[in-house]
């Protein structure tokens, strides 16, 4: 599945003591190997230390650094791990600050630092030459000859393609890693020695995260530690691992012992992002340059302990601090879309069916917020509850209470008699509770809403959510249809989150109590008769499966283009202890079958705002033929 366990390291060092530094580097490598890492990044000039000053001009220090590199190569012989370590190199009468890339006892290549800072507290040009013009050179060291040397080197093992910045290289307008990414590099590393100033760590982190987003890569960063602190500068050993704009791991700075930061990189995810992004390809055509690709081969890429965090609810922010900010943003998007449709049509009334369920509740809250923003009276919101054969007292009472407490124009239209008449008209036995029995009710409700909208000069606002659209859990030309669908790109797990937010923070207690009871009501279309005790008999998740699983499947299938096998593997990690492997397998197969068989419904969707990263609108993100075969997406274990 192309996962790679990687590490950044900040070893204890002594300035100019290459023997001591080598021992600490080897300890870090041993630790990384024990944890099954396949790649480890060390800080800038970690063999010698960054703060050697004029000692870099001493032959002895250079010679000792070469001896340490030779010993490191011997130590790495037979070990299945790629190493990037910093050390100086003398080449054609100049000294270069370099990254030495080592695998299985051999230096695969040497990458020089392109840009040398010589301002503020930095005086590197006193010792080092800039390397941006070094290309396609070969270097001979006392223990290895003909080593590729240059800025345009990339190191690859299958889909894993490594490239390197060195400290200042990231801080320039066009970092070397930008060119490397356009050439195919997807794991980019920065060997750094960035000293600490007040607020510099936040700026540095934002820079690393931003570069990983722009290059659609994993960007690893390892900086010199506290034992480099000397004279007027202090270092903290800041380490970061990012992936396509997301921070995967960050260490606690100012550690005094060897420090290791480990996580797992998902290369297929990064490749999929690039494949989909036409601007990335355009940039490659305009600015791409050819890198010299040096190949090596890992012996074993199995990850026996998969310890990357997999969020079981990828649509919902896990950071509580983002709750209010994210909710306001989502509602603002929904409001802006609906407000545009209202002002464009000049129809200042909205018609919405309220069932007492989650989706129609969220739609109503969006309409309320939109009308308040446009300074339109809430009485222009026509809320309609349409009890039928399966409507329970609980959902009915919640629907009535909510509509009245929000000061809408409330109407009740019982659909039982109309449906019975329609059963007679089409020759259907009302005792047969099949799909016809259910869909007649859904279409009757939609007809009522549409006709009220015509009569009142308003817009029918759709309530269906993204999860239902993915599964095709809607009656074609029934609840499937509206004049504008405000929830069309909001998955069920996020619907719950938004309604709960309003209940907790934005309404008075009486309305909050209704919203909380709606949140606690089982999800159901209520199209089948109630049970003997008057409770909901038809529970959606018993039929199609848990929505939290389907939202997980949807995210990885659409957002990352993941295979069913990968989705099942990740779901097994995310939902360990919640669902068995057999349950995940069952519902994933159900998801794949329904997703393919129900595309024809998505091909005829009404307009609605894109809220998150996934939309199934046939005019937006998702263009799929209605008659595509699911055969290539079936699997067996």
Residue 294 marked as a ligand binder: no
Tell me whether residue 543 is annotated as binding: no
Report whether 587 belongs to an annotated binding site: no
Q: Which one is catalytic: 167, 327, 403, 488? A: 167
Q: Is 463 annotated as a binding residue?
A: yes
Instruction: Please check if 86 is assigned to a binding site.
Output: no
Is 209 known to sit in a ligand binding site? no
Measured distance CA(177)–CA(169) in Å, rounded: 8
Q: Is there a catalytic annotation at residue 44?
A: yes
d(CA 387, CA 396): 7
577 labeled part of a ligand binding site = no
Tokens standing for residue 271: 């490749």
In sequence order, what DSSP letters do the residues of 592-612 get, joined into one string? HHHHHHTHHHHTTPPP----S
Report whether 601 belongs to an annotated binding site: yes
Using CB atoms within 10 Å of the CB of residue 279, give its burial: 0 to 12 exposed, 13 to 18 middle, 19+ buried.
Answer: exposed
Q: How far apart are CA 84 and CA 153, in angstroms?
A: 13
Residue 115 annotated as binding?
no
CA-closest candidate to residue 1, choices 181, 264, 180:
264
Helices (H), 406-536: 416-426, 435-456, 466-471, 492-505, 509-519
Element (H, E) at 101: strand 94-103
* CA gap 58, 99 in Å, rounded: 20
480 to 214, 461, 488: CA distances (angstroms): 38, 11, 10
- Contact, 556 vs 315, CB < 8 A? no
Tokens coding 423 = 């059963």
Say whether 356 counts as a known binding-site residue: yes
200 known member of a binding site: yes
Has 474 been labeled as part of a binding site? yes
Cα separation, 363 vs 160, whole angstroms = 45
113 is catalytic: yes
Q: Which residue from 221, 209, 220, 222 is spatially nearest to 258, judged by alpha carbons?
A: 222
CB 97 within 8 A of CB 69: no
Express the helix, strand and coil content of the chain in percent, nearest 5 each: 40, 20, 40
What is the spatial distance between Cα 77 and Cα 56, in angstroms, rounded to a whole number?
28
Q: Does 393 count as an annotated binding residue?
A: no
d(CA 577, CA 209): 33
CA 211 to chain centre: 16
Q: List all residues 6 or more positions away from 636 whose beta carbon is below 8 Å from its beta carbon.
A: none
Listed in sequence order, the residues at least 6 apart from 331 whose beta carbon sits closer than 8 Å to its beta carbon are 365, 366, 369, 498
194 annotated ligand-binding residue? yes
171 annotated among ligand-binding-site residues: no
Q: Which one is catalytic: 5, 12, 38, 113?
A: 113
Q: For residue 217, give the 3-state DSSP assignment.
A: coil
Catalytic residue among 37, 38, 44, 566, which? Answer: 44
- Known binding-site residues for L-glutamine equal 119, 194, 200
- Known binding-site residues equal 119, 194, 200, 353-360, 439, 463, 468, 473-476, 601
Q: Which residues are catalytic?
A: 44, 113, 167
- Known binding-site residues for ATP equal 353-360, 463
- Known binding-site residues for deamido-NAD(+) equal 439, 468, 473-476, 601
């Amino acid at each position: 599945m192309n996962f790679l366990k990687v590490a950044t390291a900040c070893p204890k060092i002594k300035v100019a003591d290459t023997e001591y530094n080598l021992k600490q580097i080897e300890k870090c490598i041993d630790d990384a190997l024990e944890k099954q890492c396949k790649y480890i990044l060390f800080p800038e000039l970690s063999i010698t230390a960054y703060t050697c000053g004029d000692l870099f001009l001493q032959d002895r220090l250079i010679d000792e650094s070469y001896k340490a590199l030779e010993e490191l190569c011997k130590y790495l012989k037979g070990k299945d791990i790629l190493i990037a370590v910093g050390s100086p190199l003398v080449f054609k009468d100049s000294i270069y600050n370099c990254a030495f890339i080592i695998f299985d006892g051999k230096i695969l290549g040497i990458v020089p630092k392109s840009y040398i800072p010589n301002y503020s507290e930095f005086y590197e040009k006193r010792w080092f030459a800039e390397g941006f013009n070094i290309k396609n050179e070969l270097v001979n060291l006392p223990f290895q000859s003909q080593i590729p040397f240059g800025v345009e080197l990339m190191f690859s093992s299958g889909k894993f393609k490594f490239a390197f910045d060195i400290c200042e290289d990231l801080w320039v307008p066009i970092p070397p890693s930008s060119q490397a990414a356009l050439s195919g590099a997807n794991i980019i590393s920065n060997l750094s020695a960035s000293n600490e100033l007040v607020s510099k760590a936040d700026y540095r982190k934002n820079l690393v995260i931003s570069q990983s987003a722009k290059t659609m890569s994993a960007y690893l960063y390892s900086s010199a530690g506290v034992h480099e602190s000397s004279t007027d500068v202090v270092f903290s050993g800041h380490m970061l691992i990012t992936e396509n704009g997301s921070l995967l791991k960050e260490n606690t700075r100012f550690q005094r012992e060897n420090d290791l930061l480990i996580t797992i990189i998902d290369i297929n995810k990064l490749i999929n992002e690039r494949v989909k992004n036409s601007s990335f390809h355009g940039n490659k055509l305009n600015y791409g340059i050819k890198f010299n690709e040096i190949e090596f081969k890992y012996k074993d890429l199995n990850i026996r302990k998969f310890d990357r965090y997999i969020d079981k609810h990828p649509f919902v922010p896990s950071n509580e601090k983002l709750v209010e900010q994210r909710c306001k943003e989502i509602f603002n998007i929904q409001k802006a879309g609906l407000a545009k449709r209202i002002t464009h049509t000049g129809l200042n009334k909205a018609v919405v069916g309220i069932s007492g369920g989650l989706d129609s509740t969220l739609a109503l809250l969006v309409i309320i917020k939109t009308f308040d923003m446009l300074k339109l009276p809430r009485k222009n919101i026509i809320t309609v509850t349409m009890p039928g054969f399966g409507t329970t007292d609980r959902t009915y009472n919640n629907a009535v209470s909510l509509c009245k407490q929000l000061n809408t124009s409330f109407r009740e239209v019982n659909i039982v008699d109309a449906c019975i008449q329609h059963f007679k008209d089409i020759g259907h036995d009302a005792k047969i509770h099949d799909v016809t029995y259910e869909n007649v009710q859904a279409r009757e409700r939609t007809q009522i809403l549409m006709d009220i909208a015509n009569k009142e000069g308003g817009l029918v606002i759709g309530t269906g959510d993204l999860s239902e659209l993915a599964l095709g859990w809607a009656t074609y030309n029934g609840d499937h249809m509206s004049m504008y669908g405000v929830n069309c790109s909001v998955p069920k797990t996020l619907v719950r989150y938004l309604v709960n937010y309003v209940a907790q923070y934005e309404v008075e207690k009486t309305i909050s109590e209704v919203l909380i009871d709606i949140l606690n009501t089982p999800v159901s279309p209520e199209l089948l008769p109630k049970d003997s005790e008057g409770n909901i008999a038809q529970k959606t998740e018993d039929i199609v499966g848990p929505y939290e699983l389907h939202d997980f499947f949807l995210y990885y299938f659409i957002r990352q283009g993941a295979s069913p096998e990968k989705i099942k593997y990740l779901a097994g990690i995310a939902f360990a202890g919640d669902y068995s492997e057999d349950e995940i397998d069952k519902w994933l197969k159900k998801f794949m079958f329904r997703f393919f068989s129900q595309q024809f419904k998505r091909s005829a969707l009404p307009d609605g705002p894109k809220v998150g990263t996934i939309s199934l609108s046939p005019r937006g993100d998702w263009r799929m033929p209605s008659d595509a075969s699911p055969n290539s997406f079936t699997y067996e274990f």
